[in-house]
Every structure is written in structure tokens, then in C-alpha cells.
Structure 1
Amino acid sequence: MNAPFATWHFPAMSNILGTHILALNAAGADAHEWLQLLPATSFSGVDGRGPYEAPDANALVARFQAEGRRLPVDENHSIDLAGKAGHPSPARGWIVELQARADGVWGKVEWTEAGRALVQGKDYGFISPVFLHSRSKPYRISSVERVALTNDPNLPFLKSLHTRNEDQPMLEELRKALGLPETADEAAVVDAVKAAHSASSGHAATISRIAEAAGVAKETGADDLVKAVQSRGTASTAETENADLKAQVISLQSQISTLATNTAREKAEAAIDGAIHAGKIVPALRDHMIARHMKAPAEVETEIKHLVSLNAGGLGGRKVPESGQVIAAEEDQVRSMMGVEEKAYAETAKALNGKDQ
């Protein structure tokens, strides 16, 4: 079973604990929106009561949300003392939200006009939470019940409501610059600064590599760097387009060359095959004459016109070679004009003459 509550500082009241905790690391005398209700670590009071286990912040927040009620902020525990005796114990504010942070449990307070005036006027400098806890040590806190304004803190190691923290304005500016919520503590701000620094270093390294690739100085401004990259991109595009055009021209030239070669071969084959059929060129010379025709078609065709057909009436009026003579004198003259070896010509002529007989 839990004890009724733990509250403030009178030694004669053994069932009451004085636990006064800093409301906020405040700057100036403003009535701040968020109050620190419990620390994140285990703790004991100056009067020796405790120890209390490190609060389970998430469990305390979950219980507060499940109960769905607001927690009052009074003066010097008037709700627990004066109120129970029938005296007035007005709330000076209301805790409407709890948060679990790295440094403990925090509460968002909506101040009454009187409460705000008390804090801004520096009538009170500390707060004291009322919480339920277990009976056995170390005490385990089970819920936060309410909060009191006080000037007699039982936990002096925490800062007062009006302790001026010169770093606070800077923290506020850092929160805004880093896009952090106003509830972000110092640890969260430091982590964000480290992350931003790491990202900035990575960005600078990337910009340096881009500048090097663009052929400009590393310290080149952003606008000039963009222009350099765009210019290089345009040049690169032009180079790519020129390369593509060159490849297309080479391919077209190759196609034209192939077409011309095929056309020349077809013409040469037709001319030489016609001459062979007319008996003006022996078949053994077909490839040779085709190659010559492809290089100099007019020259070869002129030669063919002046050649005598080997098929013109047997020997075609030519004398048969005498004994020991390979070919006739007339044919030897033709052979010489055609650039054909004597033996090959004689064998072809002999074969053709055999067919004519």
C-alpha cells in the first residue's frame, strides 16, 4: 500500500516529506510554461528522507494521461495543510501536461493571474511536488499528485525559479535555429548541433568535389559554382552530340562504301561472265578479270571489245600450232594482251577447241 503523499519540510510531521524541486532553469523573472517536477536520477531530501528510486518518467506520464485530470499548483502545500483544516487553498496554476525528458519529469503549467504575479514578482523561487510512493526503501514513486510553490527547497542542488542562467538565451536561439521545440533540453540541443555540424562538414566536402569536377576553385561561391556546372554540362552535351554525329557519319560512309563495292562487283561479274560466254576470256581468268574490272571498268571493257572470240567457228580461222608449238602466233598475241600465262591459255584453248569439233 502506498503512503498518502510526500510533501514539504516540517521535521515534526514524520509522515510528510519535504521535497522541493526546481521548476525551471529560468532566465529572468518570467512565469515559465514548463516546470521540472522530478529529477531523472535517484535522490534524497536534505532532511534525510529517502532514498527514492530514479522515477519511471514514462510510467508517470502514462498514468497522468490515463487519469485525464489536471494537477493543481498551490502555495506552501495549502491544499494538504490549510485545505484539510477548512481554510482557503486556491490553485495558483494547473499542470495540464507531463513530459518525460532526459533530465526528469516536466509539467506544463497554465498559471492563474495570481500565480503568474507571484512568480514574476519573485515571491517564490522553488516548487515542491506531492507524490505517492511505496512504503519500503528505496521508495518507488507511483504518481505525481500536485505541486506547491515554496522558498525552502529540500533539494538545493537544483536551481531555483529565478536563478539567472546566462546560457538560456543562447539555448532559446539554438532551439529556434535548429527547428527544435521549446521543450528541448540541453542534451537535445547539443545532439542537434553535432548532427548539424556533421551535415555541414559533409556538405562542404561534397561542394569541394563538385568544384574540382567543374574545374573551378574550391572557394567558388554557390552561384558561380552552379554556372560552372551548367556550362560544363552544356559542353558535355555538345561533345556527346558531336560524338554521336561522327559515329553516324562513319556508319553511313561504311554503308556507302559497301554499296559501291557491291555495285562494282555486280557490274564486273556481268561484264566478265558475258565475255567468258562470248569466248573472249577463258573461265580460269574470271576472278582476275573481275578484280581488274572493279578497279578500272572502262579499261577492261575496251580490252574485251578488241579480243577475238575463242568460240568463233572452231579455230576461228587460226592455224593449229605446229609440232612443238604450244599455241598459235595469233593466240599468243591475244594471250599477251590479256596478261595470261601461255600454258594456262593453251590448255583452255585446247579444251574449247575440243568442244567445237
Structure 2
Amino acid sequence: MKTSSPLPLAILTTTAEPVAVLSLDLKADANGWQQLLPAGQFRAVDGRPFDVPGNHWFIDAEVANQLIALANDRTNDLVIDYEHQTLKAEENGQPAPAAGWFKTMEWREGSGLWIKPQWTPRATDFIKNGEYKYLSAVFPYDATTGRLLRLHSAALVNRPGIDGMQAVEALAALSLNPKTPNPDSKKTEHSMNELLKKMLVQLGIQVEEGKEPDAAAVLAALSELQTKAGSADTLATEVVALKAGNTLPIVDPAKYVPVEAVHQLHAQIAVLSAEGASTQLDQVIDKAKQEGRLVPAMEAWARDLGKQDLAVLQSFLDKSQPIAALAAMQTDGKKPDADNPDPLATLSADEKKVCLATGISEADFLKTKKGDA
């Protein structure tokens, strides 16, 4: 199976002091910014890159924005070490302490790519005392166009682009190429990659072959998983507390009655209320008849009205003028004087109003009044 050749890497240096080897005065920038790469076409002091037509690397605003975007997609900052020890650690077994870290970058037209390093106290003393003077960038590039592809790291150095640069460049390629023919490291990396893929699948994240997982998506999935775990723990704790403490309220049966008993009581109250209302209506009608306020022909009407609204009926009867004849009929059954030559003349004005209101003729009313009905 044919494997692709590793991307070519380059190590380029600029000054870590206010005065750069590219003859740029950095004293004007007092905010901690440091030039990392120049603008346009550039090459190292030894003539590299030899594998690119025209022997130059290239960076402009478009390339710089791509480099910045790739760096921002990373979770970790980019390292600045000493003498590129990060690339040599596997070979010489020596530690590779950081001199600083960076991710904040900006493109300055006509000047190049600038970074804002966060130096360690030790590196700050080295630079201040002049023990390290130059900043060397490590980056893979396109061997056809010389365009920079991404930033790998940077280092504090004192011999930029002169002795041993080719060897360091080869080590850089070895470090960045995952297909380096090292059986032990390849086996370990393969196992780790497979484990990582399985873990990401469990988090619901699918990663295409040859691409890195989205760091933001991974962090979001882990945060959601942690939240769910916390909720489950809280729920389990509450269940245990309820079982142990039996915190449910205890009902005192002496203070409460069954719902069915309440319903029966409501039904009984309704029956009693109806019976009471009927008795009261009978009493109102009987009293009105005794007082002569209600003629027999109006009793059915009065009873229907009283069932609907007893207060309205009572108000009507209170305003009605008593009819003496009706009152007498209800008490002792005595008839009025039969010697009256004009029977209808015996009807009072109120009695005539009753006839008019009820639709009863005065003659029929008079018959009822005499007891002939």
C-alpha cells in the first residue's frame, strides 16, 4: 500500500528582543506582541526552502487567517520551547520545558503574523538578560507553492537557520507524521485512536477518517453527561432519604371523613333544604289566603313563583291589599250581605285591580267572594 510522504516542515527565526533580524523595530508595540513570520515571500538565511520552486515560503492575509482559525480550533495553546527540544525529546530523552505559550495571533498587513506569547518567568529572565535572542517558528508547508499550512510550535534559539537546521527539520517531519515507521509507537497510537473513537461514539460524536474531532462538541457532550450524572445522583439520594425518613405526612382519621360520607351529607342537606323551602312556601301562601291577599284562582301561580323565587312572591303579597271578603271566607265561612242591590258595587278598587291583573271577571270574582263558586 502506497503511503503519502510527510509534509515538509520549516523552522524560521525572528528576534525575541525589541530589534528583529528582519530589521523591524518592535519597541513601538508595548502590549507584549511579537513578530513570528514576515509578510509575503520569505526564506531562511541559509537559502531554504530548497524543495519549493523559487526557494521561498509564502504567507499573506488569507494564509494567516487559515493558520489563526486552525489554532483557534485547538483546545490547547501552542508551545514555545527551548532549542526545539519538543522535537528532539524522543531522540535524546531530555525534558522539553516550555518557555511560553501562545494562541492569540493577528495579521498585520505589510508586517506579517504576530503572536502574543505568555512567557514563563524563567524565559522572561533569559530574554531580559540576552541569553536567548531569537524566536524560531516550526510549520508544515506546501512544497509546490511554499504556502504555510499550519503552525506547529516555536522555540527560543540563538543560532537561527544555520547549523543543524536540516536535521531539526527532519525530526520535525518525523514528529508530525503519524505514519512514521516505528512499530512500537504505531501500535500504541493505533490502539489509542481506536479507544478514543469508541469513547466518542458513546458520547454521540462521529469522526470522519483522517479528521480530528470537534473539541467544542466533545466538551459539550462531556458537560451534558456530567449534568445527567449529577441529576441521577441527586434523585437517588432523595429516594433513599424518603425511604429512610418516611417524610410523607401522617393523616389523623379523627380529623377527616371519607369522601363518600361527604357526598351523602350534601344529598341529605339538599333534600332537607327542599323540604324546608316547600314548608315555608306553604306557610306564606296559607297566611296570604287568611289575610285575603291571595285569591284561590291565583294560588297555583303563586306556588310556581314561590318555588322559583320565594322572596319575589313575598314582596308581591306584602304589597297586595287584603280583601276582607277573602279573609272572611278563609276564617269562618260567612257570606256577605245578600240584600245589596248592586253586587258588583261591593267590589273595592283593589278587588277590581286583582280581577284586572288575574284576568278573572268581576262576576266570577263576586261569586267566589259570595261563596257560590
- TM normalised by structure 1 equals 0.36
TM (norm. structure 2) is 0.35
